[in-house]
Amino acid sequence: MTPATQNPLLEPWTTPFEAPPFVAIRTEHFAPAFEAALKEHNAEIDAIAGNPQAPTFANTIEAMERAGDALIKPSGVFWNLSGSNTNDELQALEREWSPKFAAHYTNISTNAALFKRVDALFAQNDKLGLNPEQLRLLEKTHKGFVRSGAKLEGAARERFKELSQTRAKLTTQFGQNVLADEKAFMLVLKGEADLAGLPQFLREAAAGAADERGQKGTHIITLSRSLIEPFLTFSTRRDLREQAWKAWVMRGENAGTTDNRQTITDLVRLRIETANLLGHKSYADFSLDESMAKTPARVHELLDRVWVPGVQRARNELAKLQAMAASLGDNIKIEPWDWRYYAEKVRSAEFDLDEAEIKPYLPLDRMIEAAFYTATQLFGVTFKERKDVPVYHPDVRAFEVTDRDGRHVGLFYGDYYARPSKRSGAWMSSFRRQDKLDGGTRPIIVNVMNFAKPSAGEPTLLSFDDARTLFHEFGHGLHGLLSDVTYPSLSCTSVVRDFVELPSQLFEHWLGTPEIMTRFARHAKTGAPMPDALMAKLKAARTFNQGFDTVAFLGSAIVDMEFHALETAENLDPLALEAATLARIGMPPEVGMRHRSTHFNHIFSGGYSAGYYSYLWSEVLDADAFAAFEETGNVFDAATADKLKRFVYSAGGLRKEDEAYILFRGKMPSVEGLLKKRGLAA
């Protein structure tokens, strides 16, 4: 390549650990890299499908695992930047290329000659002499083909391809619409009257948001959860709380180019048609066939089991909030924008505890150290920051991960601060996944957060919920980093949706232990440990407001299931369905859904369609899994941690998920542990 035509996405990377050379990568590099990589992948697939030799595991399944290597670098960089550091040009490319990628992979999954080879191997899998990992890969590969339309023929096959491309366009548009609405909103606080009630940490974060948006000297509340939730908690200005809350819940519902209502209708209709083509009456039936739950009925059984005590608890909490308002002389009826404000006052009264007292003891840097320390104690891995590793934004930090013997495990990026170029929420992703083929590949994993960035020179202070989010996503990160399998299709988080949250939700448990809090919950400026009395109050309040949290989550999970259990989308009005569902289940209007339909990225832009319930399913598992450590009397018990690593964190998709859990725990859990954890049962 001449200097004028060099494309770093198509060249070897000479950076430390072969990390992406972000400084050299420009937007115009992606399209030619995609075109070249797709061409190469197509040639590889054609060679496998057209191989004149009889199919073997090596010349078909392993060959497919090796195919597509050229796509890893450009796609890994592109899709991560699209979520965490996007711009107009990247968004245009995303709209252009998401349907192209969908078409590419659909063409592979509906390649008749290729599937014939896979199908022939699957039919004789017990005679091939395969080891358990190879058998599992063959089984998952075959099932993946079938679920991706491989058995369809003629017009049905062509229609399936069209549906895949159109769905990809719509999911991309949905997410971009939500981001556009988030970027467009700024609540500018003009003077002390607008700042009334806000603690110093929130004032500093709002000043930092203003600086970032070119309005230095003012304070701005954005729709980042780490800004808007504390604003709703502390602001004494009810009118501003209402304005902020309505903007938050109206994302994707504002008339104009970013309105997501028609997008939802179209997506639901296309998903139903897709499911029908594959022999299922609804998308929920199709989606749940590849899950631990298996059927909508089992999901509803779990949701209903938790809903009854959850909504009763929420109504009791509401009564306390209403009484608190009256005691303060506030002659109001509690509305959704009031809940957090009065809940904080009730918490302060009942437990002598307020968020502003806690946050100085949970500085971001110490919580990162705490997550790393926990991983070291459990799994023997250590983290060393590397300033020589290129990053895609100045706020991103890079860490080399090594094992007990000093061997390289992987590379970990932490991207912690909110910015206009990043979609909301928190997530884990990968630039590169682990495998042991042909010498092996070490993973590059990223955690993305949206914590409010403070003013220059000030520490980043987290709420306990923020710190729990950091631990949650780091649990996902460890699932990727500790992966120890041979084949890429089984590595990292390649498990069913209602199991993938187990490693993340389980890891949250260590945050609240005395072993972690005593060591790492230290004042950001003085270094003093959190006082025992404050720690005791925090522990006593751990199930406070759980009715609200449970019902807000369940409202979203139940609406998700309602959308995807539909057998027709004729005359579908998304907001009418949402409202009717909430009315039917008796959703307290003062609570509000955690994610309303028009900005529900999990189900309309992410991979959780008919799967948002999975956080609750995994919570049944994680409550029981942490009990395994508690039963030993040591939250870092080495033998239990070794089993956890072998059968959960490092095992990827090596075996069926219920088998993996039983190998770790010896049994499957019941819902009672979850109810107890949330304070919904004795």
Which tokens sit at 628?
């395994």
Q: What is the pTM of this model?
A: 0.94
What is the per-residue pLDDT for 2?
A: 37
Residue type, 139: E
Q: What SS3 class is residue 13?
A: coil
Find the helix packing angle between 88-109 and 154-184, rounded to 10°: 160
Q: What SS3 class is residue 137?
A: helix
What is the per-residue pLDDT for 4?
A: 43
C-alpha distances out from residue 553 to 9, 165, 270, 296, 462, Å = 41, 31, 26, 17, 22
The CATH number of the structural domain formed by 8-109+111-151 is 1.20.1050.40
Number of H helices, E strands in the chain: 28, 7
What is the per-residue pLDDT for 5?
A: 62
Each domain of the chain, given as residue ranges in start order, spans 8-109+111-151, 185-249, 360-540
The torsion of the CA quartet 214, 218, 219, 220, rounded to 10 degrees, works out to -40
**CATH architecture for residues 360-540:** Orthogonal Bundle (1.10)
What is the per-residue pLDDT for 501?
A: 96
What is the per-residue pLDDT for 305?
A: 96
Closest-CA residue to 472 (of 435, 418, 510, 499): 510
Task: Name residues whose C-beta falls within 8 Å of residue 329's C-beta, 6 or more positions apart in sequence.
Answer: none
C-alpha distances out from residue 269 to 273, 425, 562, Å = 6, 27, 13
Catalytic positions: 473
Decide if 503 contacts 479 (C-beta within 8 A).
yes
Binned average pLDDT, 10 residues per bin, the chain of 682 residues: 70 97 97 98 98 98 97 97 96 96 96 98 96 97 97 96 97 96 95 96 92 90 94 98 97 95 98 98 97 96 96 98 98 98 96 91 98 98 98 98 98 96 95 96 98 90 96 98 98 96 98 97 96 94 96 98 97 97 97 97 95 96 97 98 98 97 96 93 80
